[in-house]
């Protein structure tokens, strides 16, 4: 027996019945983003490995452990994109978009790839919707992006959502702060849990998440990055918060919010959904004022986010399943005896060409089986072709039947 193939670890098939919810997520995002002036741009799913090494950051988990990297036949090192921002910035520079009115507002959607340990809500191929505004440092940009993401999530009906907001300042402020935090932790080493103590050098911010009683006491008094922002960054953050307040957005200030990518500066945010268990992040982003320069452009401030389509779909699943049960396809299923099958295909084709949803039996079912199939596919009508050439149109929900001239079918079914 040949071995059975399965989708690769950490990937999954999206079956027909799972499509509507995912399609809706992208449609709502597209409508709201395009209404706000964001234009769609698609970039390749693979890029030069160096783009991500430089753009995402050599020291990040993504670059160190999670990239799907391969060599092409010309010996070039390529990587399946682990995120969108570096690609969008590469395209911004490649197409000279700095010459357009700024900020350039772009959105994209598609698959991304990270070699992570798979679990519920965490996959090796996942789908994101991304929005990026490149070329302005105005706090209005940060606020606009957060408002758009929040409104998309709200329109979709995701429940139990919380917005966490922080500011990282500049890379220099951040580095100085981390040194200060390390010294602070060292001066309280005796009170910390072993785990936190062992990670003072590698990840001192972890200490803020600890459950350990002694560590928590130490952290209650610890300096936070928000207290150390330089005046311009602090003022920028104040303005972002004020804009969110006056647009009725509630958020939790989170001085320990760190994101897995090196390029963030100033504002960072994450949307979390409490219905999702461990992988609760449904979207996040922030400002990345240094990235364009890092990729060879002029210093250019920018801000963006990514929404996780798979996780939002998971959060919406129960409701969608219920809605799916009631769905009818508004179309017609043509039921025919053996002799009428050719005519059934011709009629279905005519209807489809007229833009009407039409289906027919392709499996040699008897009439009774065909009626069942009409019901199963959710057709609103069944058209029953009798051997003598007569045709009957049956309303599948009321059971009402009437004889009909097939020549008038398109007209009858197009009528509202």
Q: Rank residues 49 and 125 by Cβ distance to ligand AMP and give the closer one.
A: 125
Q: How far is the CB of 210 from ligand AMP (least distance, A)?
A: 23
The piece of 142-150, 207-215, 276-284, 364-372 that touches ligand AMP (CB under 6 A) is: 276-284
Q: How far is the CB of 43 from ligand AMP (least distance, A)?
A: 15
- Looking at residue 252, the DSSP 8-state letter turns out to be E
- Looking at residue 206, the DSSP 8-state letter turns out to be G
Based on the shown chain and the rule CB under 6 A, indicate whether residue 12 belongs to the binding site for ligand AMP. no
Rule CB under 6 A: choose which of 41, 81, 83, 254 binds ligand AMP: 83
Total residue length of the chain: 416
Q: How far is the CB of 407 from ligand AMP (least distance, A)?
A: 52
Cα–Cα distance measured from residue 214 to residue 191, given in angstroms and rounded to the nearest whole number = 5
Based on the shown chain and the rule CB under 6 A, indicate whether residue 123 belongs to the binding site for ligand AMP. yes
Could you say which residues in the range 283-302 bind ligand AMP, by CB under 6 A?
283-284
Q: Rank residues 260 and 297 by Cβ distance to ligand AMP and give the closer one.
A: 260
Q: How far is the CB of 334 from ligand AMP (least distance, A)?
A: 42
**Strand bridging mode 252-253 / 161-167:** parallel
Cα–Cα distance measured from residue 160 to residue 318, given in angstroms and rounded to the nearest whole number = 14
Q: Rank residues 1 and 278 by Cβ distance to ligand AMP and give the closer one.
A: 278
Q: Rank residues 104 and 131 by Cβ distance to ligand AMP and give the closer one.
A: 131
Residue 152 contacts residue 28 (beta carbons within 8 Å) = yes
Based on the shown chain and the rule CB under 6 A, indicate whether residue 116 belongs to the binding site for ligand AMP. yes
Based on the shown chain and the rule CB under 6 A, indicate whether residue 236 belongs to the binding site for ligand AMP. no
Q: Rank residues 142 and 310 by Cβ distance to ligand AMP and give the closer one.
A: 310
Rule CB under 6 A: choose which of 282, 291, 358, 393 binds ligand AMP: 282
Q: How far is the CB of 15 from ligand AMP (least distance, A)?
A: 18
Based on the shown chain and the rule CB under 6 A, indicate whether residue 142 belongs to the binding site for ligand AMP. no
Residue located via tokens 């060292």: 186
- Classify residue 27 by burial, with Cβ atoms within 10 Å: 0-12, 13-18, 19+: exposed
Q: Rank residues 105 and 114 by Cβ distance to ligand AMP and give the closer one.
A: 114
Residue located via tokens 């050599």: 58
Could you say which residues in the range 35-64 bind ligand AMP, by CB under 6 A?
none
Residue nearest to ligand AMP (CB): 308
Based on the shown chain and the rule CB under 6 A, indicate whether residue 128 belongs to the binding site for ligand AMP. yes
Cα–Cα distance measured from residue 82 to residue 87, given in angstroms and rounded to the nearest whole number = 10
Q: Rank residues 68 and 184 by Cβ distance to ligand AMP and give the closer one.
A: 68
**Sign of CA pseudo-dihedral 308, 312, 315, 318:** negative
Q: Rank residues 108 and 373 by Cβ distance to ligand AMP and give the closer one.
A: 108
Spatial strand order of the sheet with 69-71 comes to 46-48, 77-80, 69-71
Q: How far is the CB of 25 from ligand AMP (least distance, A)?
A: 11
Q: Could you list the beta-strand ranges (E) of 257-301.
A: 265-273, 281-287
Instruction: Spell out the residues 6+ positions from residue 152 whose beta carbon is closer than 8 angstroms to its own.
Output: 28, 29, 32, 33, 129, 307
Based on the shown chain and the rule CB under 6 A, indicate whether residue 145 belongs to the binding site for ligand AMP. no
Residue located via tokens 């002029």: 298
Rule CB under 6 A: choose which of 122, 162, 182, 216 binds ligand AMP: 122
SS3 312: helix
Copy the structure tokens of residue 348.
């279905």
> CA dist 160 to 84, 247, 255, 316, 366, Å?
27, 20, 22, 11, 49
Copy the structure tokens of residue 88.
């969008």
Q: Rank residues 85 and 370 by Cβ distance to ligand AMP and give the closer one.
A: 85
Strand pairing partners for 334?
A: 360, 383
Please provide residue 73's backbone torsions phi and psi, each rounded to the nearest 5 degrees: -70, -15
What x-and-dash track marks residues 95-114 binding ligand AMP by CB under 6 A? -------------------x
Residues that bind ligand AMP (CB under 6 A): 83, 114, 116, 121-123, 126, 128, 259-260, 281-284, 306, 308, 310-311
């Amino acid at each position: 027996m040949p071995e059975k193939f399965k989708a690769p670890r950490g990937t999954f098939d999206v079956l027909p019945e799972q499509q509507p919810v995912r399609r809706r997520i992208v449609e709502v995002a597209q409508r709201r983003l395009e209404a706000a002036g964001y234009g769609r741009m698609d970039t390749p799913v693979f890029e030069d490995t160096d783009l991500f090494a430089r753009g995402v950051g050599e020291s990040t988990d993504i670059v160190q452990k999670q990239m799907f990297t391969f060599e092409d036949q010309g010996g070039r090192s390529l990587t399946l994109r682990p995120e969108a921002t570096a690609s969008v910035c590469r395209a911004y520079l490649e197409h000279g978009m700095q010459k357009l009115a700024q900020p350039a507002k772009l959105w994209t959607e598609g698959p991304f790839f990270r070699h992570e340990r798979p679990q519920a809500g965490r996959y090796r191929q996942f789908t994101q919707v991304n929005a990026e505004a490149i070329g302005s440092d105005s706090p209005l940009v940060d606020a606009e992006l957060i408002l758009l993401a929040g409104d998309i999530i709200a329109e979709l009906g995701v429940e139990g959502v919380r917005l966490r907001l922080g500011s990282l300042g500049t890379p220099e402020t951040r580095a100085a702060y981390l040194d200060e935090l390390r010294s602070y932790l060292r001066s309280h080493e005796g009170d910390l849990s072993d785990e936190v103590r062992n990670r003072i050098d590698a990840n001192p911010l972890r200490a803020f998440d600890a459950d350990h009683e002694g560590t928590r006491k130490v952290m209650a008094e610890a300096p936070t990055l928000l207290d150390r922002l330089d005046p311009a960054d602090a003022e920028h953050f104040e303005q972002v918060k004020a804009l969110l307040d006056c647009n009725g957005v509630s958020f939790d200030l989170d001085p320990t919010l760190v994101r897995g990518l090196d390029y963030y500066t100033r504002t960072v945010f994450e949307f979390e959904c409490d219905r999702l268990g461990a992988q609760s992040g449904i979207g996040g982003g922030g400002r990345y004022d240094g990235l364009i320069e890092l990729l060879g452009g002029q210093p250019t401030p920018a801000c963006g986010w990514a929404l996780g389509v798979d996780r939002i779909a998971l959060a919406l699943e129960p409701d969608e399943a219920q809605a799916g049960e009631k769905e009818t396809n508004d179309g017609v299923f043509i039921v025919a005896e053996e002799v009428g099958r050719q005519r059934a295909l011709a009629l279905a084709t005519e209807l489809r060409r007229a833009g009407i949803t039409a289906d027919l039996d392709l499996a040699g079912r008897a009439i009774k089986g065909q009626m069942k199939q009409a019901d199963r596919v959710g057709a609103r009508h069944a058209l029953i072709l009798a051997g003598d050439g007569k045709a009957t149109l049956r309303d599948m929900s009321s059971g009402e039947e009437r004889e009909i001239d097939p020549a008038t079918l398109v007209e009858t079914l197009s009528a509202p």
